Structure 1
């Protein structure tokens, strides 16, 4: 018999809600360390299905070790558990209570099982996160250097130290970019080559898509992927009122921004995207709205190439595929 276990993840602890024979809950606390998680594994009953939230790096270790131990795991969006708590009219916010809510969510909703990312994707994710931080730090230093330029009296040691730090960040960025490219070439070569063959999809966008989609294993339709990234249009209808409220803006804003910038090149060099953009503009749509729609189309092209193992063709003619929601 399946038993739903709620795990509320914090930086150093795990609050675990275990069901009792009487229908209640037993709350245990474990350290969020390999030793603590091993102890948790030894206390899980047979048929356990663990429910936890995606809480960044803090939830990765316990998710990884549960998957390695062949324990059923579901990782849900914190918005889902937050709205579930509202539906339950919960007014208490504690780690034990959150663990119980997660277990109840699993029992009622029965979320799908989580597929753990591969070791290569975990390394790729860390490198891309570090790369984004290095870019931010370099930009801060360049802005600081620019602000020092008009000063009438300049300190040479300050200028030299600042330039040395900028050079270090640029060298580190170049090295990380090569490592990211190498991982994609070694472990995701076919996907990487198909994605970069699309006119408008750069190396940076391709690696971001591979990382975010778990190598395109987490999504069965382009529509679901667009919703996850936040490029799906939203409609609000109530009674006689029906309005469009732009895109849903869920998911990673960094990837959304990359796809939007990629649409600038796509409307020039990607035939399907260019024609799509021209149709929208001829219909009176604003340029920004049309570019966002092109970004969505680029995402659908990327999903289709990887999903159906096809090469990019600028003169491709759409065709019906059974049970394919693209």
Structure 2
């Protein structure tokens, strides 16, 4: 009955979209194939599944529809797998793709137990992850709003030369000096619109930062965030983001965590030829960006300042010692890359790859 490792009689593949669901069911005893077009209603899907010869196993691809269907079916006592799309085996010569064919393909792979399931985040983890990603989106929005305003002034020959931009001094210059230089009242309206957008987006970012700080200080993720903070470049925001993006760190090792975030070199080898290319950039792109940004902090000479000591005071002694070892090691890696005249972007990715391993060692450490 079914394939290796599959105990259910009927294997079901669902191609889930926002407004429709293509379903295909294969009976492991009779070999009969049943297809249907369903609505996205969880009740409708579960009702259709109950009409099939049981027990039933279901698989659908991870995507923008999230994990609500998985949680609903699991609560109803139906085994459900959320499959990693990048790990699905597909015939190289197949050039026809439809929702119905995708559902059948999923059902067949599930029957053979040839699917790779993704890790399902907990409800609280997913909620915090949404908040952290909202802050990331807000950061990008603020960058775009600032660029629009500065380029508006640049088109009229107005350039700030008084130091770093977007400081209190720069803000005063925008209101007192830049605005009066715009001759047309219509252009001033455009400036007001851009300036208000900058202020509103910055206020939204600050509110999100405050909420994230509160969650990081008092939640189930607090011990992990405090341990990760023993490494340079891992602030409270970065630590919480890594905690909720990675989820269960114990499913990795110090070597495989870099593969998950796409920081390992791609490889095209055949016979005696071994050729490595750029990093794969597979897996969790949010975590990869955070690690790459954090790796830049290890380029400067390692000194233990007040900020680092404050973080260490929140973490266990073993985490402090481990973090200090990692900080020394990662800075020395930067020094060697500079001595070898490696391109800084290439060197930083290599440091980020090793930083992922140090983060893992702190994450799996006992509290």
Q: TM-score, normalised by structure 1?
A: 0.83
Equivalent residues of 2:49, 2:56 under 8 A apart:
no
Instruction: Please give the secondary structure, in 2, of the residue aligned with 1:28.
Output: strand
Q: Distance in 2 between matches of 1:261 and 1:131?
A: 16
Q: Distance in 2 between matches of 1:31 and 1:114?
A: 24
Q: Who is 2:297 aligned against?
A: 265
C-alpha deviation, 1:298, in angstroms: 1.0
Mapped pair 1:216 → 2:249: yes
C-alpha deviation, 1:280, in angstroms: 4.0
Q: How does 1:118-129 map to 2 (within 5 A)?
A: 118-129=122-133
Question: Residue 86 of structure 1 is aligned with which of 75, 85, 91?
Answer: 91
Question: Residue 184 of structure 2 is aligned with which of 149, 153, 162?
Answer: 153
**Measured at CA, do residues 247 and 158 of structure 1 come closer, stay the same or move farther in structure 2, by a change above 3 Å?**
closer
Q: Who is 2:347 aligned against?
A: 290
Instruction: Please give the secondary structure, in 2, of the residue aligned with 1:86.
Output: coil
Mapped pair 1:309 → 2:309: no
Equivalences, count: 305
Write out per-residue CA displacement over residues 269-324 of structure 1, whole angstroms, 9 at most, x where no aligned residue: 321101223334445644332221110111101111111326xxxxxxxxxxxxxx
- Name the larger-Rg structure: 2
Mapped pair 1:51 → 2:59: yes
Structure 2 residue runs of 5 or longer lacking an equivalent are 1-6, 157-181, 303-326
Q: How does 1:222-237 map to 2 (within 5 A)?
A: 222-237=254-269
**Measured at CA, do residues 162 and 180 of structure 1 come closer, stay the same or move farther in structure 2, by a change above 3 Å?**
same
Question: Residue 30 of structure 2 is aligned with which of 22, 29, 38?
Answer: 22
RMSD between aligned alpha carbons?
2.5
Q: Who is 2:220 aligned against?
A: 187
Q: Who is 2:313 aligned against?
A: none
**Measured at CA, do residues 179 and 34 of structure 1 come closer, stay the same or move farther in structure 2, by a change above 3 Å?**
farther
Structure 1 residue runs of 5 or longer lacking an equivalent are 311-326
Mapped pair 1:165 → 2:173: no
Q: Distance in 2 between matches of 1:286 and 1:157?
A: 45
Q: Who is 1:323 aligned against?
A: none
Write out per-residue CA displacement over residues 225-272 of structure 1, whole angstroms, 9 at most, x where no aligned residue: 211210012333222322221321112334323212211112333211
**Measured at CA, do residues 273 and 62 of structure 1 come closer, stay the same or move farther in structure 2, by a change above 3 Å?**
same
